[in-house]
Amino acid sequence: MISGISFSDIAKEFREESLELLEAMENSLMVIRENGMDHEHINAVFRAAHTIKGTAGMYKIDFIVEFTHIAENLLDQVRNGKIEMSDELSELFLECKDHMQNLVEFAVVTNNEELPHAKLTEVTKSLGAILSEKLDGDSAATHSATEHLTAANQADFTNAKNIHLWKLGISFDSSVMEQGFEPASFLAYLRKNSESFELSANTSAIPFLSDLQPTACYVSFDIRFSSHLSKEEIIEVFEFIQDDCILNLVEDIPVVETTVAEETPVAKPVSTPKTETKVTPVQPQKAQNNYSIRVDADKIDQLINLIGEMVISNANVVQQSIDLQNTELIESVSLVSRMLEDIRGNAMQIRMVQIGESFNRFKRIVLDLSKKLGKEVELVIKGAETELDKTVIEKITDPLVHIVRNAIDHGIEAPADRGSKNPKGTLTLDAYHDAGTVVIEISDDGKGLDEAVIYKKAVEKGIIEEGTHLTQQAIFKLILEPGFSTAAQITDVSGRGVGMDVVKRNIEALRGNIEIKSQVGEGTSFIIRLPLTLAIIDGFLVRVGETFYVIPLDMVIECIELSDEEQEGMHGNNYIDLRGTILPLLNVGEFFGEQQSEDESRANIIVVHYAGRRYGFVVDELFGEFQTVIKPLGKIFSNLRGVSGATILGSGKVALILDVPMLVSFILSMRARSD
């Protein structure tokens, strides 16, 4: 209906918006399932379906409109209490949601130029039939899908509730028609979605023939209409011309309000005296962007890359200002540096997303899976508000899905096999920040991992040799090795051809690591540690021999001087006594084979904190805090151990970023060997 805009132009946006709505729909349905029916959530489900239908209608994606319409009818009856919500129904709605998603994807892929293929049509039909069956008698007849299609343009919202009376003043930029927009189309669309519609066209601005610019827009409109559309939805109607029109939307008092049927009439007189309760002039673009702006992730990446470059250049400026010994310059430069740091912080913040969103999708997975396998599983989500870089979240979701699937499939036992434990298993997803990393824990209270069984299997599969001595942790980690996934265990759930090795690889690609804790009969925990961000970190700059190294600052606890006495007290061992506890040490210079500079009389220890324990790195010189833009090392260095990246110093020199997790595991293996 809107000329000048083809579907392919907005397909991406349409998809994103729809998927977001569908996700909201699923989340609300899951809440209803867990906590029982409530108005707020069923309304959210209805609104999501309704908005998708509306948008699909605007772009004439009839097959989505057709299907969504039936689902919407049933939803409407459910939210009005005509039909009672049940687990069966919510499951049906979940299926509908999946189907709608498939339809949306299909429309986007084909640019809405093709009719859905047989498989989709079939699902539309079968689900449609189930939906219509559930519909309460009379309305089922009047609102069948076919009827809807023929009457598609007529008011089909007669049973939609929450009708409000609106006054809308709208005037257009004089160039609006020259840009290819026709005011009448927008108004006709609004009329179509209104119960009553009174428009008066203000033609007073139209000049006499001699002065008329025939293609300029002179008319403005005053409309009084009643509609089920929300304020946002009304403004959305004018979205495409939002820059070229001024809307003044005023709500009159609501005329009908059946959703809140219980509301006593006593409450009403309070709001009735005035005909216009709220007067809110609306600039459409503002209302649209009230809460968030949709920005292409690439743009943010670009911004962050640029800031990264700037941090490097700035480091150079700082260096030069120090070399010049010009105090004023140094002062100005330090001011710039500070602001740059703020900019960097803010830019990184843009990418931070709460992990809860991606946790929510597990509710559905757990529900579907436990049902399929005849298990009872309760999902507990903690730390949903923990923030994590969006890219990291995106990349971690698949591995998490895999671990969760595994936990339900292999970890949690069937109710009958759970012995004295609660027959309902518990799966916990937890996220929290810890020393510059984010920790995600997936724990189940299932049967746990059996060391002996895993060891035996690993030997059978040729992953390790019989007789190899391994720590418990190392044995558990064998399940992450490629080729471990066992044929005997393959079900249609976890035997999808993707082994746990993919989980490990994905996590390592994010510079994270994974730890497994397990107790036979009590359960298993997967503990994943991930860096907060991927691009820029605060680092601590040190020097060993001729090389500069950077240690992620969040991990640094303190720096101490390694005195001669302590050095002697070590007796060649690799640990010192730090205020009564043993501090394992790693001589960074030795590890990387640095030339020992003889004249160095003193050494320093940087105490880092990782995975709940402390370790010391022996280095030559400390420089302190340094903003580090992580530059990946090329492929050639992929086998380089102990270094996770590089950065460029102000002087142009390269500093290596220490891979603390790797070094820590090295320290541990050294100790294991010497034990």
Q: What residue ranges bind other proteins (CB under 8 A)?
A: 177-178, 182-184, 187-188, 191, 198-204, 206-210, 212, 214-215, 217-219, 221
Integer CA distances (angstroms), 629 to 27, 77, 389, in order: 38, 56, 16
Closest CA to 94 of 69, 75, 76, 121: 75
CB nearer to other proteins: pick between 225 and 617: 225
CB nearer to other proteins: pick between 200 and 567: 200
- Extract the tokens encoding 410: 């292999």
Closest CA to 531 of 448, 645, 414: 645
**Distance of closest approach, residue 376 Cβ to other proteins, in angstroms:** 58
Those residues whose C-beta lies under 8 Å from the C-beta of residue 365, and which sit 6 or more positions away, are 401, 404, 405
**Distance of closest approach, residue 4 Cβ to other proteins, in angstroms:** 12
**Distance of closest approach, residue 156 Cβ to other proteins, in angstroms:** 19
- Which ranges of 36-144 does DSSP label H, i.e. alpha helix? 39-58, 62-79, 87-109, 118-134, 137-142
**Distance of closest approach, residue 174 Cβ to other proteins, in angstroms:** 11
**Distance of closest approach, residue 253 Cβ to other proteins, in angstroms:** 24
CB nearer to other proteins: pick between 31 and 176: 176
**Distance of closest approach, residue 191 Cβ to other proteins, in angstroms:** 7
CB nearer to other proteins: pick between 152 and 365: 152
Tell the burial category of 466 from Cβ atoms under 10 Å away from its Cβ (0-12, 13-18, 19+): exposed
Q: How many helices (H) and strands (E) does the chain have?
A: 20, 22
**Distance of closest approach, residue 229 Cβ to other proteins, in angstroms:** 18
Q: What share of the chain is helix, strand, coil (3-state, %, to 5)?
A: 45, 25, 30
Cα–Cα distance between 32 and 185 in angstroms, integer?
39
CB nearer to other proteins: pick between 207 and 652: 207
Place of tokens 């399929």: 372
Strand 621-629 and strand 425-434: the pairing is unpaired
**Distance of closest approach, residue 218 Cβ to other proteins, in angstroms:** 6
CB nearer to other proteins: pick between 247 and 412: 247
CB nearer to other proteins: pick between 217 and 234: 217
Backbone conformation region of residue 419, classed left if phi is above 0, alpha if psi is from -120 to 50, else beta: left
- Which ranges of 293-389 does DSSP label H, i.e. alpha helix? 297-324, 327-351, 356-373
CB nearer to other proteins: pick between 214 and 497: 214
Cα–Cα distance between 518 and 521 in angstroms, integer?
9
